[in-house]
Structure 1
């Protein structure tokens, strides 16, 4: 039985695969990260309008005037994630850092320069 979360995750990975084929030089993950620290973002709605996002790493002062967490990543691709099922996704430094900490069956490989 597949849960809604499993279906949503599968849809996000399918989107990443399509994006990898369409733009192999851009990160394909459909959510943002801190480019220096990975999955450390927080976002909040502003009191007036819009959002702010920031990195929660104590030595990082990165702040964005939009909801970076819920926006597609726009960083350049620097790594390939080779999933256990042989799918490949191109990702940026921040997503590669996060993937190294989270994946168990797969590899994170630096793209050739």
Structure 2
């Protein structure tokens, strides 16, 4: 499998996980599950992408471009947007939202 094919397969897997598991975070891009919007990504010349958390005490790394893939973390919070819409997010996305964060998932 080529690097592009492997990366595409990882993206597809993340998107499918989000679509088929309603208890997953609904945000279409990734974060560090512990520190929120602290990710960096880079393309590797021979093996695809790496993503990592830039928090100096965090050692989380991923072998794909997590910033560009749908979040596959479990939903733990409900966000009440200014327009009244509600959506579910993971711990990492709850740290960086502009909406009102409500603990738990909607009934």
Q: Structure 1 residue 106: deviation in Å?
A: 3.1
Q: Structure 1 residue 47: deviation in Å?
A: 1.7
Could you tell me the TM-score, scaled by structure 1's length?
0.69
Preserved contact between residue 16 and residue 89 of structure 1 (Cα < 8 Å): no
Q: Structure 1 residue 11: deviation in Å?
A: 23
Preserved contact between residue 38 and residue 53 of structure 2 (Cα < 8 Å): yes
Preserved contact between residue 31 and residue 71 of structure 1 (Cα < 8 Å): yes
Q: Structure 1 residue 89: deviation in Å?
A: 1.0
Q: Structure 1 residue 23: deviation in Å?
A: 4.5
Cα deviation, 1:28-47, whole Å, max 9, x if unaligned, reads: 00000000000000000002
SS for the counterpart of 2:100 is strand
Does residue 40 in structure 1 map to residue 34 in structure 2? Answer: no
For the residues of structure 1 that align with 2:64 and 2:9, how far apart are their CA atoms? 24
Q: Name structure 1 gaps, 5 residues minimum.
A: 96-100
For the residues of structure 1 that align with 2:9 and 2:95, how far apart are their CA atoms? 19
Q: Structure 1 residue 12: deviation in Å?
A: 20
Preserved contact between residue 31 and residue 69 of structure 1 (Cα < 8 Å): yes
Identify, as 1 or 2, the structure richer in helix.
Answer: 1
Segments of 4+ moved more than 2 angstroms: 4-24, 101-106
Preserved contact between residue 18 and residue 71 of structure 2 (Cα < 8 Å): no
Q: Structure 1 residue 13: deviation in Å?
A: 19
For the residues of structure 2 that align with 1:13 and 1:82, how far apart are their CA atoms? 28
Cα deviation, 1:16-58, whole Å, max 9, x if unaligned, reads: 9999997531100000000000000000000213100000001
Preserved contact between residue 17 and residue 88 of structure 1 (Cα < 8 Å): no
For the residues of structure 1 that align with 2:35 and 2:65, how far apart are their CA atoms? 17
